[in-house]
Amino acid sequence: MKKFKLTKYEQWIEDHAEEFVPASREEFLKIKEALEARRKDAVLNIRVNSSVLDTLKKKAQKMGIKYQTFISEILQKVAHA
């Protein structure tokens, strides 16, 4: 069995799984749609200032997520603001 390293947030979900309630079919489909809309299907190569990148990496680390994921989430929020 393959072992996965969980983020802090994923570990929290696993630790509190008994607190979650089942979703209706309609709610499940809404969640599924939202997740599919956030699927990453394009590659982006950009140059940024190294100090900016270091700051983003530190913030992502504090949140327990990968810095690429963190940057992607920032872009997602700005694009849909």
Greater model confidence, 52 or 11 = 52
Mean pLDDT for the stretch of residues 61-69: 93
Number of domains in the chain: 1
Identify whether 25 is part of a domain. Answer: yes
What's the whole-model pTM score? Answer: 0.56
| Intra-chain end-to-end CA distance of the chain, in Å | 41
Identify whether 2 is part of a domain. Answer: no
Identify whether 73 is part of a domain. Answer: yes
- The predicted pLDDT at position 1 comes to 60
Task: Please state the φ and ψ torsions of residue 26, each to the nearest 5 degrees.
Answer: -65, -45
Residues 6+ apart with CB under 8 A from 9: 63, 64, 65
- The predicted pLDDT at position 39 comes to 79
- The predicted pLDDT at position 65 comes to 92
Quote the domain boundaries for residue 47.
8-79
